[in-house]
Amino acid sequence: MNELKRFEIFKRLSVAIPNPTTELKHHSTFELLIAVILSAQATDKSVNLATDKLYAIANTPESILALGVLGLEQFINTIGLYHAKAKNVLATCQMLITHHQSQVPNTREALERLPGVGRKTANVILNTAFGEPTIAVDTHLFRLGNRIKLATGKTVLEVEHKYLKTIPAEFMQDAHHLLILHGRYTCIARKPKCAACCIEDLCEYQAKEYNVVNN
């Protein structure tokens, strides 16, 4: 895909999605971090339902740590893998208190040392909370990268690196959320809504399918 086409794709997405941001509810960087940890293999909706109740009671490292495993699990037991996530959240809270004065660190290295925080979660925090032009490749970005041919690859890391090389600089800050929201609501996994897509004529997946039908 050439540079002009990539620019036009992101230009149109930015018009269609004028306020690209996370759909995880949060009022602090710490709340965002916990929500992202909980969101692994879970929907943002399910996480928001849980954190709405949790954050009303505990929304600091100290207050969540004070809940203990059983106390925290009562709030998050509707989320998949909640046993493991509860342990990771509590361990992360302890590390934030002990090593970071209860603040969320703003470097990849420090973030990835926190229990339950991998490269994807670190990228989300760096981009959403600290304004860094990172790309967190989740299932949506992986699918779109290969489907639209924006960033093809067989592994998450390969796709991430290609996105970083090919996304126009003007859109790097918002690209992560533009692609997530486009993948979540339009370019969905099964039966993508091509007729309602603002980049249908630029999409190489759509063009390929059209050629198959018409040849």
Reported as a single tens digit per residue, the pLDDT across 22-69 is 999 999 999 999 999 999 989 999 999 999 999 999 999 999 999 999
Count the Cβ atoms, other than its own, within 10 Å of residue 30. Answer: 21
Cβ neighbours around 7 below 10 Å, total: 15
Q: Give me the pLDDT at residue 213, please.
A: 31
Which of the residues are catalytic? 120, 138
Q: Give the least confident one: 105-119, 146-160, 200-214.
A: 200-214
Tokens 């996105």 belong to which residue? 163
**For residue 13, which of 185, 189, 151 has the smallest C-alpha distance?**
185
Residue % of the chain over a pLDDT of 90: 91
Q: Does the pLDDT value for residue 204 go beyond 90?
A: no
pLDDT of residue 33: 98
Q: Is the dihedral of CA 29, 34, 39, 40 positive or negative?
A: positive
**Domains and their CATH numbers in the chain:** 3-20+135-214 (1.10.1670.10), 29-128 (1.10.340.30)
CA distance 122 to 124: 5
